[in-house]
C-alpha cells in the first residue's frame, strides 16, 4: 500500500478549477480538484481507464469475480466522447437525483453549475475529494469543501452521468429561461400516458438529472450529496432514488443479476461488447436533428413498484409463465439455457406457445417490437415499507436509447398486455436527454451553449 496522495487520473478542466477565480455567480467557490482522499488504496486503478472488470468473455470466470463485493478499485474516466455510466459495466449501487433550477437562475448560473459539476464529477470519479482543500484541509474557519464520508474509500467504479429534462428547454408555461428552447431536440417531449400509469408528479420529471453509480453505496451517495451541495442557490433536488442492486448487465463480462421477483433480469440487454448495436440503438448520431447532441443519448427513468407480497405467494407455474423464462437458470420456456434465443412458436400440449402471448420476455423482445432494443440499467430498491406494511419495493428502471420512441414502443406493448402488470405499477417517470461526454478542458453540455 502506498500511503501518499496521488494525482487524479484524468486531467482537470481548465475552467472552474482555480478557486481564486471563477467563483459561482452566487459567490460559492467553484468546485476544484485537490486533495486526494484515497491514496491508501494505491495505484492499482490509477490512470487505467476502465480497469476493473476485464472483458474476458467468459461468464463463468467473471461471475466468480463479479461477486457481491463489486469491484472496488475500478475507475472510469470522466471525460470522453460519450458520458460514462451508460455502457460502463453496470455497477452494484445507484444514487439518482433529479434537480430543478432555482426560479431566478440565469443562463450564466446554469453554465456555471454545469462547469462546477463537471469539475467535481471528474475529481470524484478519479477517487479524489471535491475542492482544492477537500474534506479535512483549508482554512480552519471555513467549512470543508468535501463532505468527507468517502475518505479512504476507493473510486469504486464511480460514474456520474448528467441529463437535461424537457423543462430545462421550456417550462410548462413555455418560458425559455436559458435561451436554449430553439435547441431542444424534437424527440424530447413528454412520454405518453401508458395504461396503468399511476405517476406521482413530485417524484417525476425534473430540469436536470444526475445518475451516480458505484460499487460502494457510500461513494454513490457522496457524489450526489456533494453535487447537490454545489448546486444550492442555483438548483435543488426535486426527487432522488437509491438503488441497491443492479438489475441489468451492460457487459458480457457480468453475470446476469436478479430483480426482486427473483428472476434474472437483462439477459437480452444491449452489451458494451456489441459496438454496432450500441451505435444503432443507444447513441444519438449527428444527423438526428440537433448537432449538439451527437454522441448523446436519452435516459428514461421509471419507478416501478412491485407488489412483492402478492408475487411471493404466486405459484411457480404462474411466475414462470409471467416471465416466459425459468426462475432458476433464466432459460426461455421454449428450452435451452439462459442465452438461448427464445422460440416463440414452440407449442405445448394445448397448442399454445410455451412462451405465452402475455409473457414479459415475448412482449419485450425486439422481434415483437420492430427490432427495438433498449440499454437497460435499472436497480432494485426497497425504501422501507408503506402504510399497509408492504415493502416499498420495486425496480428503478433506467434505460438509455437513441430516441425515447424506443422506450415508448416497448412500454406500449408491455403496458397493454404484460402478464406482469398484475404485480407491478409504474409510480414515477422521467425523461432526460443525455448530452455527449465532455472533452478534457470543457464541461458537460458545452455544445448546447456554444
Partner 1 sequence: MRTRPPHRALTVASVGAIAVLTLSGCVANDSSTAHEKLTVSSSATDCTVSADTAPAGSVVFTVTNTGDQVTEFYLLGSDELSIKGEVENIGPGLSRDLVVQLSAGDYFTACKPGMVGDGIDKAAFTVSESDAAAAAPTVDMAAQIDVANTNYASYVKDQVNQLVTGTTAFAAAYVAADDDAARALYAPTRAHWERVETIAESFGDLDPKLDLREADLEEGQEWTGWHAIEKDLWPAEAEAGFAAYTPEQRSYLADLLVTDTATLDSKVQDISFTLSQQTNGAIGLLDEVATGKVTGEEEFWSHTDLWDFQANIDGAAVLYAGVRDLLVEKDPDLATSLDEEFTALQDLLDAQRVGEGFQLYTDLTPADIRALADQVNALGEPLNQLTAALVL
Q: In the range 363-402, which residues lie near partner 1 by CB under 8 A?
A: 387-390
Q: In the range 52-111, which residues lie near partner 1 by CB under 8 A?
A: none
- DSSP one-letter string for 413-445: HHHHH-GGGGTEEEEEEEEEEEPPPPPTTS-TT
**CA–CA gap between residue 289 and residue 186 (Å, rounded):** 7
Considering only 97-105, 263-271, 311-319, 399-407, which stretch makes contact with partner 1 by CB under 8 A? 311-319
- Kindly state whether residue 405 participates in binding partner 1, applying the rule CB under 8 A: no
- Alpha carbon dihedral 55, 58, 61, 66, in 10-degree steps, equals 50
- DSSP one-letter string for 363-406: HHSGGGTTT---EE--EEEEEEE-TTS-EEEEEEEEEEESSHHH
379 Cβ partners below 8 Å, 6+ apart? 93, 94, 243, 244, 245, 246, 247, 395, 396, 398
- Kindly state whether residue 327 participates in binding partner 1, applying the rule CB under 8 A: no
Closest approach of partner 1 to the CB of residue 191, in Å: 10
- Alpha carbon dihedral 125, 128, 132, 133, in 10-degree steps, equals 140
Considering only 76-84, 114-122, 275-283, 304-312, which stretch makes contact with partner 1 by CB under 8 A? 304-312
Closest approach of partner 1 to the CB of residue 297, in Å: 25
Cβ atoms of 157 and 91 within 8 Å: the answer is yes
| Selected binder of partner 1 within 74, 223, 419, 448 (CB under 8 A) | 419
Closest approach of partner 1 to the CB of residue 60, in Å: 18
- Kindly state whether residue 196 participates in binding partner 1, applying the rule CB under 8 A: yes
**CA–CA gap between residue 258 and residue 195 (Å, rounded):** 26
| Selected binder of partner 1 within 295, 332, 404, 447 (CB under 8 A) | 332
- Kindly state whether residue 307 participates in binding partner 1, applying the rule CB under 8 A: yes
Beta bridge partners of 302: 397, 429
Closest approach of partner 1 to the CB of residue 356, in Å: 6
| Selected binder of partner 1 within 142, 345, 350, 384 (CB under 8 A) | 350
**CA–CA gap between residue 417 and residue 381 (Å, rounded):** 25
Beta bridge partners of 34: none
245 Cβ partners below 8 Å, 6+ apart? 92, 93, 257, 379, 380
- Kindly state whether residue 194 participates in binding partner 1, applying the rule CB under 8 A: yes
- Kindly state whether residue 354 participates in binding partner 1, applying the rule CB under 8 A: yes
Site string for partner 1, 27-46 (x = CB under 8 A): --------------------
- Kindly state whether residue 286 participates in binding partner 1, applying the rule CB under 8 A: no
Residue numbers at the binding site for partner 1 (CB under 8 A): 192-198, 307, 309-310, 313-315, 317-318, 321-322, 326, 331-337, 340, 346-350, 352, 354, 356-358, 387-390, 412, 415-419, 421-422
Amino acid at each position: 500500500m502506498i500511503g501518499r496522495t496521488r494525482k487524479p487520473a484524468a486531467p482537470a478542466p481548465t475552467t472552474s478549477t482555480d478557486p481564486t477565480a471563477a467563483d459561482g455567480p452566487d459567490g460559492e467557490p467553484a468546485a476544484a480538484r485537490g486533495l486526494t482522499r484515497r491514496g491508501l488504496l494505491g495505484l492499482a486503478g490509477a490512470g487505467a481507464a476502465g480497469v476493473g472488470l476485464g472483458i474476458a468473455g467468459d461468464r463463468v470466470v467473471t461471475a466468480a469475480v463479479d461477486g457481491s463485493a463489486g469491484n472496488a478499485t475500478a475507475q472510469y474516466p470522466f471525460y470522453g466522447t460519450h458520458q460514462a455510466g451508460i455502457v460502463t459495466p453496470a455497477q452494484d449501487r445507484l444514487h439518482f437525483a433529479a434537480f430543478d433550477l432555482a426560479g431566478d437562475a440565469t443562463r450564466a448560473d446554469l453554465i456555471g453549475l454545469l462547469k462546477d459539476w463537471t469539475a467535481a464529477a471528474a475529481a470524484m470519479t478519479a477517487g479524489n475529494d471535491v475542492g482544492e482543500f477537500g474534506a479535512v484541509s483549508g482554512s480552519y474557519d471555513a467549512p470543508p469543501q468535501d463532505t468527507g464520508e468517502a475518505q479512504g474509500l476507493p473510486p469504486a467504479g464511480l460514474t456520474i452521468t448528467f441529463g437535461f429534462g424537457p423543462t430545462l428547454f421550456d417550462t410548462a408555461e413555455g418560458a425559455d429561461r436559458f435561451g436554449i428552447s430553439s435547441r431542444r431536440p424534437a424527440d424530447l417531449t413528454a412520454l405518453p400516458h401508458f395504461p396503468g400509469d399511476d405517476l406521482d408528479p413530485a417524484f417525476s420529471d425534473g430540469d436536470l438529472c444526475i445518475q451516480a453509480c458505484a460499487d460502494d453505496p457510500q461513494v454513490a451517495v457522496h457524489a450526489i450529496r456533494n453535487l447537490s451541495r454545489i448546486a444550492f442557490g442555483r438548483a435543488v433536488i426535486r426527487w432522488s432514488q437509491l438503488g441497491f442492486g443492479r438489475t441489468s448487465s451492460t457487459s458480457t463480462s457480468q453475470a446476469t443479476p436478479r430483480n426482486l421477483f427473483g428472476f434474472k433480469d437483462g439477459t437480452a440487454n444491449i452489451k458494451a461488447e456489441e459496438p454496432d448495436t450500441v451505435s444503432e440503438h443507444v447513441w444519438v448520431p449527428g444527423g438526428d436533428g440537433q448537432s449538439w447532441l451527437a454522441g448523446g443519448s436519452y435516459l428514461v427513468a421509471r419507478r416501478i413498484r412491485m407488489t412483492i407480497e402478492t408475487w411471493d405467494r404466486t405459484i411457480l407455474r404462474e411466475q414462470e409463465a409471467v416471465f416466459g423464462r425459468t426462475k432458476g437458470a433464466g432459460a426461455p420456456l421454449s428450452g435451452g439455457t439462459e442465452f438461448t434465443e427464445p422460440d416463440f412458436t414452440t407449442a405445448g400440449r394445448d397448442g399454445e406457445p410455451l412462451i405465452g402471448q402475455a409473457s414479459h420476455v415475448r412482449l419485450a423482445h425486439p422481434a415483437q417490437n420492430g427490432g427495438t432494443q433498449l440499454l437497460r440499467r435499472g436497480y432494485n430498491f426497497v425504501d422501507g415499507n408503506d402504510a399497509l406494511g408492504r415493502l416499498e419495493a420495486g425496480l428503478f428502471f433506467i434505460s438509455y436509447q437513441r430516441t425515447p420512441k424506443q422506450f415508448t414502443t416497448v412500454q406500449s406493448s408491455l403496458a397493454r398486455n404484460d402478464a406482469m402488470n398484475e404485480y407491478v405499477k409504474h409510480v414515477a417517470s422521467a425523461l432526460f436527454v443525455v448530452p455527449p461526454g465532455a472533452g478534457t478542458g470543457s464541461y458537460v453540455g458545452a455544445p448546447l451553449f456554444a
